[in-house]
Structure 1
Amino acid sequence: MTTPTGHNRLGDEQSPYLRQHADNPVNWQPWDDDALAEARERDVPIFLSIGYSACHWCHVMADESFEDEAVADVLNDEFVPIKVDREERPDLDRVYQTICQLVSGRGGWPLSVWLTPEGKPFYVGTYFPPQARQGAPGFLDLLRNISNSWDSEEDRAEMENRADQWTTALDDQLADTPDPADETPDVDVLGTAAQAALRGADREHGGFGSGEGPKFPHPGRIDLLLRTYDRSGRGEALNVATETLDAMANGGLYDQVGGGFHRYTVDRSWTVPHFEKMLYDNAELPKSYLAGYQVTGEPRYARIAQETFAFVERELTHPDGGFFSTLDAQSEGFDDENDESAESADGDDSEGGEAEREEGAFYVWTPEQVRAVLDEEDAELFCDRYGITKRGNFEHGTSVLNISTPVEELAEEYDIDRADVSERLTNARVALFEAREERPRPPRDEKVLAGWNGLMISSFAMGARVLDPALAGAAERALSFVREHLWDDDAKRLSRRFKDQDVKGDGYLEDYAFLARGAFDLYQATGDVDHLAFALDLARVIEAEFWDDEKGTLYFTPASGEQLVTRPQELTDSSTPSSLGVATDLLVDLDHFDSDADFGDIAERVLKTHADRIRGSPLEHVSLALAAEKFARGGLELTLAVDELPDDWWEVLAGRYLPGAVVSQRPHSDDELDEWLDVLGLDEVPPIWAGRDGKNGKATVYACESFACSPPQTDIRQALDWATKN
């Protein structure tokens, strides 16, 4: 048996989460060949800990256990301790999170898994306290018990047998596919999913689920309900969607001062958030608000989207254009609860207490802190508007800002004109924002992840189509950044992560699918054929690396990548959309542009393979259900033969809710198509452009819906009216 490594190797890693543990007395190893080889050579179990930098309970377990010398001694002597950033290795997280949910009925982070040297799980959980409490074993006792059992021949045989059984269960859950159905799900699947969403709606507080908490945003369900309303005109679907949009925007989930969304709220009423801000939430939620704006015309929804974009550009954007991953929930605060001065809010650690990291410290306020920034009348008005009280709704008498009093009531109560109330509140928000900028900031995880950047690029592209074409600039800079740093144009392969000039990891299906969707959406917003070409390049790799023709599915990991104990698929939507669903929907769209590729056939086979799952639980498979409905119905296609999009056309398209539509710009004349075909690497004009040139020297639109096409139109309103009535 070899001796333990003898040192912690995380100091060589770029992940902020891994580096947070580089000074632990635990001899943490990254997941790599050396660590796995050590486990096999020493014949000891692997203790795998998976988390991420903004994870609150990851910090707690680190402070309680991983800083403890006694715990470290056992981990170092009896195990190979491996630490994984789930944002860098979503494949490992997917596999071992699945077994945690299968065994315990729950999951989350930190994820704690004990593995055989071959990587097969035999014990799993999430957070473990240092001493036993509330039915959970103490972490140190658990380590000793597992070590003793491993050294017992009889107990070890039982553990290895369990590991084999669990690995078989993982194969059944993640890797295997059922026999394909004869048909893909029909258009009714959207209505079935919407009915399930309506049944689970919280009509009192908005959102979904009626338990006491926590309450998570579900942008996919909002999209589903808005599309159902658009198709059927059912008011209940619109009511639930707008109730949810309003509740999230008015509550503590939304940062009322600086814009942007926190991860979730700990309560049913959206009052107190878990304060980390994730790039993916701030990518997906603006799209829901933009859709709500198009459907209802309510300007407040456009404002929420615009403020979120501003937050991302200000706080989550690399100087060269890529988007960072997260802001931590914690920042420096004060020990002294009684010090409610503006200085203590700013984190001055002179007199009054020693600065330490506290959850939410950057975002919460007391009435005294507001009065330190505003005059008495405006402070009172602001506190009434946002529910800031002496007692508070959070820890130590602080308040998370929630909109608690409508402007109309404030105008009546203070005998002020409504417009004046709005102006004073706006000025107060600006003043408090500037004061808050002086506080110690939450740490930022500056990983640039290909897939998450794709989600954000797509969101900015939608913002450019609906609000302001200038928003495309942020998307284009981010796409350029990812292409420069993470895309190998010679090998046609994508890497997962960039940080401080360090590139790491093969791209997963979510990286290719989300980034390709972002590039394609940016093409739709700008008409730049180079973005379309990149989307096609990524889609071709999806076919080459992730498509399994025998199984009829797209796997999450590339065929040429590391082989884990099982090869996972990602069918269900969670905090991010299903990568399988996004990829399938994308392939349906891109099938219009490359008739020599098998994009449409792959999408059809995926939908047949998983048809029973989609039909049986469409709400768990929203992205796949949306792709199935588009495939069955035949989505809206708009071909715009224009050299430059007319301003009035942009205004019409911005105001129309066209969910899932393909908006394809091409040159006005066929004479200019050859250059575009060279960029795309195509020998023939794609079907969506063939024979669809501009007429009589005017911008021309061709509209197709449900497999039927209109004659060429020079009035885009008429074309859209035809398509929506067809």
Structure 2
Amino acid sequence: MTEHKYTNKLIHEKSPYLLQHAHNPVDWHPWGPEAFELAKKANKPLLVSIGYATCHWCHVMERESFEDPEIAEYLNAHFVPIKVDREERPDVDSIYMKSVQAFGQQGGWPLNVFVTPDGVPFYGGTYYPSVGRYGLPSFLEVLTFLDKTWREEPEKVEKQSTALINYLKDVSKQEQNTEGTVDDLGFHGENKTREFYTQSYDRLHHGFLFQQQNKFPPSMGLSLLLRHHHRTGDALSLEMVENTLRAMKQGGIYDQIGGGLARYSTDHQWLVPHFEKMLYDNGLFVTALIETYQVTGKREFADYANDVLQYIDRDMTSAEGAFYSAEDADSEGVEGKFYVWTQEEIEKVLGRETASIAIPYYNVLPNGNWEGKNILHVKRPPEQIAKDLGLPLDHVEAKIAEAREKLLAVRSQRIRPLLDDKILTSWNGLMIRAMAQVGRVLDDADRIAKAEKALHFIWNNLRTPEGKLLRRWREGEARYDGYLCDYTSIALACCDLYEATYNPDYINKAEALMKTVEEKFGNQGAYYETASDAEELIVRQVSGYDGVEPSGNSSAAMALLKLAALTQNVDYERRAEKIFLAFSDEVTEYGINSSFMMQALHLYLGGCKQVAVRGVNSDKGLDAFWPLMRRRFFPNAVFAFSLDGDADAQRVPLLAGKESLQGKTTAYVCQHGSCLPPVTQVTELKNLVDDYRQVRD
């Protein structure tokens, strides 16, 4: 058993991130009243340091500063230090991130915020080096300056903290706008956002030039562009989606050997990633891929989606069927070490013949393409490699598959990066949705079963008998009250599982969750981020910002519209309208920050076609309806299905009272409380659902 010189209060936590810091010389406290009471008694400010287990720069700052006894001694003497896992406490992270940005700093992690004993920030930033560089003061210099300011100039601290709390309250009020009417809602925000994407499009390397150097996966934006293409026929929208998905899948940002998308690329070429892999990125990526397959019919995108999911099955799924959070970038203290190769290593593993194909395919160089080693990436498809080498295509494809299998086996013997094995509710919702969609579109019953298994784990382990969702599960412990995003992500996953299985139980589950949302998160417009009975922080936030995952309000709007269609309860639609009105200015003016909100708005403005299909087993026409319902891309419609004679049909209000005609599979398309005449031909159904003529511009 390893003996440690230092052990602090984090040793009793479950979070892998907090446990990483449990043996720092810093006297870390977990977030809670004890630390704030201690600060009040001692009249000390607190350092609230926020990060996550797979954050590379969090590791760097820990090694440089939090493991330094001299820095720790000063920090312990003059501050009360708190460590927070942002993934367990997104409410704390969000408030303090906005605070740092209000101070004129760029946000990011590690997030280091200095707060009063009342929890109000007065100074903050992200990474501080142990020795001044990059134009930044050293961490010890920052600590010394703030301690002096706290003791000698308390009026400055008071002025800064008062201004900050007023700012946060004003921002929250602005995001509770309820002015305007539904007549003001239209596709103008979607159109404007498409123009912004077009202006930012990187025509050489694909993706979008939103940042000076980095590129993040724009999966929610790509799904929005697919909807714009579907509505308008705009060819460039689809071209940007296809090219960007290919560039990511073939780039270094994608793990060419093991599968899975990294957090972001540190260059515009998609070559050098920050190597950590996050569950939410991969869930959203899979959704964009399978939707692109639906739109184009190009099998490559379905294959890409399955490749990601094979990685999730192998490395990111618990024995109980739920999904882990992330994999770290670092192993043995070195970023990317697990993933990179020398040419010599590849030749030794593969042998001459296979290596002669794998080396040009993966663009392996004798001296490497990054720090003397190779990040594998693809520039030429197998067809081009076969042509260039004068070899049969099937031989080249077989050798590439063989190379991948052998390299994966050898790589698996290396010391792996940390697996953050906590199970987060909202992130699981994203992957459940992705798997349900893939299973439905590809008629993959096993994939649907895996999505169901994960949902059942969440329902049985992260939900109390009273119906309250919890945020995190790890090592048998479920903890932290669920946030809006947890409830709405799982509610939306239930809606997708209904459309994959046609099991009405999932509608009931979604309704139960949204009932709790209304009771605990309700507001005059959009919903609060935290429940009415949750811990009271310095401000109760309302947000529609779609950051690394859809906001709770965006997912709420989508879930409410789907429930309105399936249950024929117009009250759900009215609640979604309040969300759209609350964020209408943001959606219209800066839509790239609201890409999922606009997907929900697209469903609403597209008429939210409610399609009820009653199938007849003996009717050969049923075989034609099935692929239309399950494989085609209809972002403006919700489908319900049952066979004639199925008693469960009466449990779905959209199906109730609708029967097949003349022994034929029959579809009913309803909208705005009325139904069009039923149809028995697939082409008629397609034309009715595709029709955008009754929508607002």
Task: Please tell me the TM-score bracket, short chain as reference.
Answer: over 0.9
1:465-504 Cα deviation digits (max 9, x unpaired):
112232101101100111111012x311100000001111
Counterpart-to-counterpart distance in 2, 1:406 and 1:630: 36
Counterpart-to-counterpart distance in 1, 2:122 and 2:616: 61
The structure-2 alpha-carbon separation of the partners of 1:720 and 1:124, relative to structure 1 and needing over 3 Å to count, comes to same
1:549-585 Cα deviation digits (max 9, x unpaired):
2xx1211111111111111222121111222111112
Q: Is the 8 A contact 2:602 2:636 kept in 1?
A: no
Q: Is the 8 A contact 1:259 1:304 kept in 2?
A: no
The structure-2 alpha-carbon separation of the partners of 1:86 and 1:616, relative to structure 1 and needing over 3 Å to count, comes to same
Secondary structure at the counterpart of residue 657 of structure 1: coil
Letter in 2 for 1:485: N
Q: What corresponds to 2:457 in structure 1?
A: 481
Counterpart-to-counterpart distance in 2, 1:705 and 1:423: 51
Measure how far apart 1:598 and its partner are: 3.4
Q: What corresponds to 2:236 in structure 1?
A: 236
Letter in 2 for 1:632: L
Q: Please, which runs of 5 or more residues in structure 1 have no aligned partner? A: 1-5, 332-355, 677-684
Letter in 2 for 1:81: P
Counterpart-to-counterpart distance in 2, 1:705 and 1:669: 25
Of 337, 348, 371, the match for 2:347: 371
Q: Is the 8 A contact 2:78 2:147 kept in 1?
A: yes
Letter in 2 for 1:713: V
Residues 40-439 of structure 1: matches in 2 within 5 Å?
40-152=40-152, 155-176=153-174, 177-183=176-182, 184-209=184-209, 212-331=212-331, 356-395=332-371, 397-439=372-414
Letter in 1 for 2:474: K
Q: What corresponds to 1:494 in structure 2?
A: 469
Between 634-643 and 528-537, report the one with greater CA deviation.
Answer: 634-643
1:407-432 Cα deviation digits (max 9, x unpaired):
23322222112222122212221221
Q: Is the 8 A contact 2:177 2:581 kept in 1?
A: no
The structure-2 alpha-carbon separation of the partners of 1:633 and 1:647, relative to structure 1 and needing over 3 Å to count, comes to closer
The structure-2 alpha-carbon separation of the partners of 1:559 and 1:594, relative to structure 1 and needing over 3 Å to count, comes to farther
Letter in 1 for 2:595: V
The structure-2 alpha-carbon separation of the partners of 1:17 and 1:211, relative to structure 1 and needing over 3 Å to count, comes to closer
Measure how far apart 1:626 and its partner are: 2.4
Letter in 2 for 1:638: V
The structure-2 alpha-carbon separation of the partners of 1:501 and 1:102, relative to structure 1 and needing over 3 Å to count, comes to same
Counterpart-to-counterpart distance in 2, 1:33 and 1:648: 61
Letter in 2 for 1:128: Y
Measure how far apart 1:105 and its partner are: 4.4
Counterpart-to-counterpart distance in 2, 1:114 and 1:500: 32
Secondary structure at the counterpart of residue 29 of structure 2: coil
Measure how far apart 1:669 and its partner are: 4.0
Do residues 471 (structure 1) and 470 (structure 2) align?
no
Counterpart-to-counterpart distance in 1, 2:98 and 2:393: 52
Residues 280-679 of structure 1: matches in 2 within 5 Å?
280-331=280-331, 356-395=332-371, 397-467=372-442, 468-488=444-464, 490-549=465-524, 552-594=525-567, 598-642=571-615, 648-666=624-642, 668-669=644-645, 672-673=648-649, 676=651
1:504-536 Cα deviation digits (max 9, x unpaired):
100001101111111110111011111111111
1:167-187 Cα deviation digits (max 9, x unpaired):
111112234433512334213
Q: What corresponds to 1:679 in structure 2?
A: none
Counterpart-to-counterpart distance in 2, 1:410 and 1:62: 45
Measure how far apart 1:94 and its partner are: 0.7
Q: Please, which runs of 5 or more residues in structure 2 have no aligned partner? A: 1-5, 693-697
The structure-2 alpha-carbon separation of the partners of 1:725 and 1:598, relative to structure 1 and needing over 3 Å to count, comes to closer
| Identity across matched positions, percent | 36
Counterpart-to-counterpart distance in 2, 1:15 and 1:41: 28
Measure how far apart 1:698 and its partner are: 4.5
Structure 1 length-normalised TM? 0.90
Q: Is the 8 A contact 2:566 2:640 kept in 1?
A: no
Q: What is the Cα-based RMSD across aligned positions, in Å?
A: 2.1
The structure-2 alpha-carbon separation of the partners of 1:660 and 1:82, relative to structure 1 and needing over 3 Å to count, comes to farther
Q: Is the 8 A contact 1:122 1:166 kept in 2?
A: yes
Q: Is the 8 A contact 1:370 1:432 kept in 2?
A: yes
Measure how far apart 1:647 and its partner are: 5.4
Counterpart-to-counterpart distance in 1, 2:347 and 2:356: 8
Counterpart-to-counterpart distance in 2, 1:212 and 1:140: 30
Between 629-638 and 80-89, report the one with greater CA deviation.
Answer: 629-638
The structure-2 alpha-carbon separation of the partners of 1:707 and 1:414, relative to structure 1 and needing over 3 Å to count, comes to farther
Measure how far apart 1:708 and its partner are: 6.7
